[in-house]
Amino acid sequence: MNLAAALHPEGLAAPRAAELPATMEAFLAQVQRRAFRVAEMSLGNADDALDAVQDAMLRLHQHYRQHPAQEWSPLFWGILRRRITDLQRRRKVRSIVVGWLRGAGEDGEDGPVWEPVDVLADPAREIAGRAAYADLSCAVRALPRRQREAFMLRMLEGLDVAATARAMGCSDGSVKTHLSRAMEALRHKLEDWK
């Protein structure tokens, strides 16, 4: 099973439709599931991922609803990226403080993993899809932050290089470099799925 096929059953791959959503609500409905998966991969916790996505959606709606529809996607992913970074920083500070107070390291607790319900799935295909997602999620989490962001925005969300650069706050060349390094690392870690 190849990685692209493993992504499809889980609903991770971005739609390739050229049409733009007519309303902000339609855009948010279209992006919410992928955004949750991206946040969950980055944070490793479903509750934190849900908080990050909801906050990004709220901020986009409050501050950018008057912008043209073609700007919503890079704006949203930039907001979500910054929110994920904020949550990771808070978690790091919290683990340092808790470790200092307890005299130990991180507590290692993980929240429940959200899995979408697919009542029509073939059991063998569902198991393979879950295994592929688990391996992909683990491999993506292991990437350096900028490589992880470039991979998720370009490959999972389907943004072009310019929109990804805007969302990440860097140059087009940096996006290409980060994506190339991420793809090489993922190819190496996910050889079994070829």
Q: What does each C-alpha distance from 23 to 30, 35, 67, 75, 145 come to in angstroms?
A: 11, 18, 11, 15, 31
Separation of first and last alpha carbons in the chain: 6
What's this model's pTM, rounded to 2 decimal places? 0.52
Looking at the domain covering 5-193, what would its CATH class be?
A: mainly alpha
Q: Going residue by residue through the chain, which has 194 residues, state the pLDDT in tens, using 9 for 90 and above.
A: 444 444 444 444 444 445 778 888 999 999 999 999 888 888 888 888 899 999 999 999 999 988 888 888 888 999 998 898 888 887 776 666 555 555 444 444 444 444 444 445 566 666 666 777 777 788 888 999 999 889 888 887 778 899 899 889 999 999 999 999 998 988 888 776 65
Burial of 179 per CB tally in 10 Å (0-12, 13-18, 19+): buried
- Gap between the Cα atoms of 159 and 172, Å rounded: 12
Segments making up each domain of the chain, as ranges: 5-193
